[in-house]
Amino acid sequence: MEVERVQAIASLSKCMETIPSEYIRSENEQPAITTLHGVVLEVPVIDLSDSSDEGNIEGLICEAAREWGIFQVVNHGIPDEVTSKLQKVGKEFFELVPQEEKELIAKLPGSESIEGYGTRLQKEVEGKKGWVDHLFHKIWPPSVINYQFWPKNPPSYREANEDYAKRLLGVADKMFECLSKGLGLEPHEMKEAMGGEKLIYLMKINYYPPCPRPDLALGVVAHTDMSAITILVPNEVQGLQVFKDGYWYDVKYIPNALIVHIGDQIEISSNGKYKSVLHRTTVNKEKTRMSWPVFLEPAPEQEIGPIPKLINEENPPKFKTKKYKDYVNCKLNKLPQ
Ligand code: OGA
Ligand code: NI
């Protein structure tokens, strides 16, 4: 089956005023109608370098995770060169590598695994499509990596992704520790509840080509991430939106910041104390937007449920305990959890 890549549709529709009807969202989703304009939502920005005040950083992270489910971190310790290289090789894969070569690492139809180059994630409601192509591959731990899904071109792709993965581990551990302490748990307990060192780091590159009608289309439709935490590097093109108090707001682009999303598994394990954030992306008329989220995911067999220490008579469990793979299956097939 030949899959239509959005990148190809975008280059055909460059000189047009319209887009194919399957990319036009219903009115209750169209960004032009549903975005609150003139307000750039200030999701909390947290400076991780302020080591004189560890307690304060922890407090800010936990407050952001409770109130927003999303925040940005700056001075996070990942050198700018490392993220710039990650971005450069990802952009080269999408823009310089011939399409036939990209298709060599395409996700196979019917395959169980999410890894590979692709266009559609799940059955879209009413046949509507998002204006985005993507690439998924695991980057950590080494035992789960399938290099067959990593681009061979540009040749430095592998090194750039390995360098970023190693640097990201420290940031991730810091997030888990803070979230753990914020619930009155020992620093290691939250990560342990997610499977500890078995946690899988899944890289995704989103490639949103220019779109003639950004007022009518969406990139990624509204969702919460299934992961524990997602740590995302965006390019400079605005596009991420979060839902708060009944409206969609743009999240401000901050150079060199990492955007941290609380995912469903942290909401569940915290028994609802932390919120997984509802978010979506818009696209741009002239510019290509790209983003590099890494989903920190429990292993498929890992059981996730409210952490027992957080449960008592006043705080009964709000979520079922189940294997991560069963959670994913229900969510992708839109079945009740
Ligand atoms: C996602 C996502 C946001 C972005 O891929 O799950 O929410 O900024 N991406 O591209
Ligand atoms: Ni997301």
pLDDT in tens, 164-178: 999 999 999 999 999
Lowest mean pLDDT segment, chosen from 52-61, 184-193, 203-212, 214-223: 52-61
Identify the DSSP state of 280. E
Closest listed residue to residue 283, CA positions, set 168, 132, 169: 132
Cα 189 from Cα 197, distance rounded (Å): 12
pLDDT digits (tens, 9 = 90+) for 217-269: 999 999 999 999 999 999 999 999 999 888 898 899 999 999 999 999 999 99
pLDDT > 50? residue 161:
yes
Lowest mean pLDDT segment, chosen from 116-125, 184-193, 211-220, 234-243: 116-125
Q: What is the pTM of this model?
A: 0.96
**Using 50, 70 and 90 to split pLDDT, how confident is the model at 124?**
low
Cα 160 from Cα 152, distance rounded (Å): 12
Tokens of 23: 């990319």
pLDDT for position 271: 98
pLDDT for position 110: 80
* Residue 278 alpha carbon to ligand 2 centre in Å: 8
Cα 161 from Cα 159, distance rounded (Å): 5
The larger pLDDT score, comparing residue 70 to residue 50, is at 70
Tell me what the mean pLDDT of segment 39-43 comes to. 77
Tell me what the mean pLDDT of segment 276-282 comes to. 97
* Residue 188 alpha carbon to ligand 2 centre in Å: 25
pLDDT > 90? residue 54:
no
**Exposed e or buried b for every residue in 243-263, given b needs 16+ CB within 10 A?**
bbeeebbbbebeeebbbbbbb
Query: Which 3 state secondary structure label does DSSP give 157?
Result: helix
Q: Is 213 in the pocket of ligand 1 (CB under 6 A)?
A: no
Active-site residue set: 204, 223, 225, 279
Tell me what the mean pLDDT of segment 9-34 comes to. 87
**25 φ/ψ angles, rounded to the nearest 5 degrees:** -75, 160
Closest listed residue to residue 305, CA positions, set 323, 281, 288: 323
Residues 6+ away with beta carbon under 8 Å from 162: 139
What share of the chain in percent tops pLDDT 70? Answer: 96
Lowest mean pLDDT segment, chosen from 25-39, 66-80, 252-266: 25-39
Cα 21 from Cα 144, distance rounded (Å): 39
pLDDT digits (tens, 9 = 90+) for 133-151: 999 999 999 999 999 999 9
pLDDT digits (tens, 9 = 90+) for 1-19: 456 899 999 988 777 788 9
pLDDT for position 1: 42
Helices 157-181 and 54-67 meet at what angle, rounded to 10?
Answer: 90
pLDDT > 60? residue 216:
yes
* Residue 32 alpha carbon to ligand 2 centre in Å: 20
Cα 276 to Cα 153, 312, 318: the distances in Å are 35, 23, 14
Q: Is 130 in the pocket of ligand 1 (CB under 6 A)?
A: no
